Amino acid sequence: MALVEIRDVHKKFGRTDVLNGVSLDVEEGEIVTIIGRSGSGKSTLLRCINALETVDAGEIHVEGQRVHARMPDLRQFRQRVGIVFQAFNLFSHLKVERNITLAPLLTGRIGKSEARPLALDVLARVGLADKIDAWPEQLSGGQQQRVAIARCLAMAPHLMLFDEVTSALDPELVGEVLKVMEAMARQGMTMILVTHEMGFARNVADRIVFMHRGRVWEEGPPSKLFVRPETPELASFIASVK
Amino acid sequence: MNFLPLWRYRDQLIDGTIVTLELTVIAACFGLLIGTAGAVALKGRVKPTRWLVRGYIELFRNTPSLIQIFIVFFVLPSFGLKLPAFEAAAVALSLYFGAYSIEIIRSGLDSVPKSQIEAGQCLGLSGWQVFFHILLPPALRNAYPAVTSQFVLLLLGTSLASQVAADELFHVAGFIESRTYRSFEVYAIICAVYFAMAMSFKILFAVVGALAFRWPRRR
């Protein structure tokens, strides 16, 4: 059984069909990159996977559990599925340590004495252990995004979703975030990423999913998809982002 | 100009000042409770509650607060609720301060980006945990300047309670004036007392604000 199973998912915003029958499986330990033009439904699909959006039709299962906004253990579910956003969304009124330990403490995952060691551990994994006492606003965009990743890692998720996490960053800061994600990939984390970083997608992803008009238009390993796209839509997309 | 005849009324002036401060603090505390509850209700899903809160806000923000005090003091007794002057003024001013606080707190809550709430939800936090730990601190910071200036307006507005003979500072001043006929001296003194109280609160709020909201502002 795949870790994530998406079956014929439909989603409308008003009268606009954003997802138009998406089906996709993601295996445990797999790294799947979703690419596509803006408006193709990539981010919406990601948000549906952790029930930030409800689907109108179709089903999403994660670890065999059906995902929807009214699922009884939604909070426990979200602790297992981390999501990192384009805009970092750190809590600016909390220092880096508290940003990371707030949820583990409030959800009872850890006790007070374990908080700082946990923060140091996950910060070390993103190379920012020395920033544990900083305010988010004192960090660069790249550093903030790495803290946001560390905050997710502190919940020990089984699956990580990344929603265009480098899009808001200055070009020189993109590399440091991608490096952290590469390291996570090597450690076997299951990851679904929406990204415009084609180089990263090509090098790190096990599978590329090209979305178009709210559908999975084409999918396959990067070596095949980037070299021999089967559809003219993917070919023109690849040409446009090169 | 002769301030000496007022010296013998110093105890009354001090008592009046204390009553003014009590009235202000009581109305502010209850007003803030009303403000927080009302702001949460305004953001809630229950339509009739939202209408009710909206109606209350409009009623109290578009009528003179003197009339609000009169209604509580003179009209409510006909419906069986008879309150002494101080209590009546405290109720009316709480409702008045509450109506303004709701809007201030609501705009404070609205100023926190929705993405912050989502980030909290995505970490598996409950609605209340998100509200208290993520939404409230930045909302309070954003609402703080408006709440504190409204507090000073409330302090000055307590002088209206003199009209139902609550023993606050302005009422005491009227009493002393009627005894001494020293209008200038009496009103100069209570003006100075109001000014000193208002400035002291402003300084206090600035210090408290600097201590409570230490995190750097968003760029």
pLDDT one-digit tens code per residue, B64-103: 999 999 999 999 999 999 999 999 999 999 999 999 999 9
For the question of an ipTM over 0.85, the answer is yes
| Nearest by Cα to B116 from B105, B129, B104 | B129
With beta carbons under 8 A apart, name residues in chain A contacting B119.
85, 89-91
Q: Would you tell me how many other CB atoms lie within 10 Å of the CB of residue A29?
A: 13
CA distance A101 to A110: 9
Q: What is the band of A222 on the pLDDT scale with cuts at 50, 70, 90?
A: very high
| Angstroms from B121 CA to nearest CA on chain A | 8
Both tokens of B98, joined, read: 């509450």
3-state secondary structure of B84: coil
CA distance B215 to A135: 7
Q: Quick check: B218 and A92 CB within 8 A?
A: yes
| Nearest by Cα to A206 from A26, A61, A60, A74 | A26
List CB contacts of A143: < 8 A, sequence separation 6 or more.
A128, A131, A176
pLDDT at A116 over 80: yes
Q: Are residues A62 and A13 in contact, defined by beta-carbon separation less than 8 angstroms?
A: no
pLDDT of residue A39: 87
Q: What is the band of A42 on the pLDDT scale with cuts at 50, 70, 90?
A: very high
3-state secondary structure of A196: coil
Q: What is the band of B206 on the pLDDT scale with cuts at 50, 70, 90?
A: very high
Q: Which residues pair with A34 in a beta bridge?
A: A194, A209
pLDDT at A223 over 70: yes
A168 vs B: CB within 8 A: no
Q: What is the band of A69 on the pLDDT scale with cuts at 50, 70, 90?
A: confident
Region for residue B173 given its phi and psi (left: phi exceeds 0; alpha: psi -120 to 50; beta: otherwise): alpha
Both tokens of A107, joined, read: 């959800």
pLDDT of residue A241: 83
Q: What is the pLDDT of residues B2-61, one digit of tens each?
A: 888 889 999 999 999 999 999 999 999 999 999 999 999 998 889 999 999 999 999 999
Average pLDDT over residues B123-152: 94
Q: What is the band of B165 on the pLDDT scale with cuts at 50, 70, 90?
A: confident
List CB contacts of A15: < 8 A, sequence separation 6 or more.
none
pLDDT of residue A95: 97
Given CA atoms B197, B202, B204, B208 in this order, what sign does their dihedral have? positive
Q: What is the band of B192 on the pLDDT scale with cuts at 50, 70, 90?
A: very high
pLDDT at B219 over 70: no
Amino acid at A113: S
Report strand pairing: A16-26 vs A65-66.
unpaired
A91 vs B: CB within 8 A: yes
Q: What is the pLDDT of residues A166-186, one digit of tens each?
A: 988 888 888 899 999 989 988
pLDDT at A196 over 90: no
Q: What does pTM read for this prediction?
A: 0.85
| Nearest by Cα to B154 from B24, B35, B33 | B24
Q: Would you tell me how many other CB atoms lie within 10 Å of the CB of residue B2?
A: 9
A82 vs B: CB within 8 A: yes
Token pair 């180089």 is found at: A199
With beta carbons under 8 A apart, name residues in chain B contacting A87.
115
H helix intervals, chain A: 42-49, 74-80, 96-106, 112-125, 141-153, 171-186, 198-204, 222-227, 232-241
Q: Which of A92, A102, A151 sits opposite B138 (nearest CB)?
A: A92
Residue ranges of domains in chain A: 4-89+159-241
Fold of the domain built from segment(s) A4-89+159-241: Rossmann fold (3.40.50)
pLDDT of residue A103: 96
DSSP secondary-structure letter at B217? P
3-state secondary structure of B64: coil
List CB contacts of B102: < 8 A, sequence separation 6 or more.
B34, B35, B38, B39, B42, B53, B57
**Which of A74, A85, A89 is the best substitution to test chain B (most B C-beta atoms within 10 A)?**
A89
pLDDT at A150 over 70: yes
CA distance A176 to B119: 22
Average pLDDT over residues A188-205: 90
